[in-house]
Amino acid sequence: MFLNQFLLLAAALFCIGVYGVLVRKNGILVLMSIEIILNAVNINLVAFGSLTDDVAGEVFALFTIAVAAAEVGIGLAIVLLMYRNRRSIDFSEADLLKG
């Protein structure tokens, strides 16, 4: 197997995730797009790990999974708080910090 086939798949997934983050208004859908981006990174880490036959790639992928789980927990709590305060989870309406 070529290394590049995994890297190109990860790059395509990453770009789809970036498109989702830019184009979505709903907070939960933005978080889902971020999950796609993080998974693309994990594919890269594991692919390089098996290229060099090193266990470090898998260990780093496991750390990324743990951090992603923490990120989803905090992100959904923030979205929930936003819904409670504004009755809407539309990120394009959250512009309090806009100058």
**Interface with another protein by CB under 8 A: which residues?**
1-9, 11-20, 22-29, 31-33, 35-36, 39, 42-43, 46-47, 49-51, 55-59, 61-63, 65-74, 76-81, 83-84, 89, 92
Least gap, CB of 81 to another protein (angstroms):
6
Cα pseudo-dihedral 34, 36, 37, 39, rounded to 10: 120
Quote the CA–CA distance of 24 and 30 in Å, as a whole number.
6
- If the CB atoms of residues 58 and 94 are measured against another protein, the closer one turns out to be 58
Q: Bridge-partner residues for 87, per DSSP?
A: none
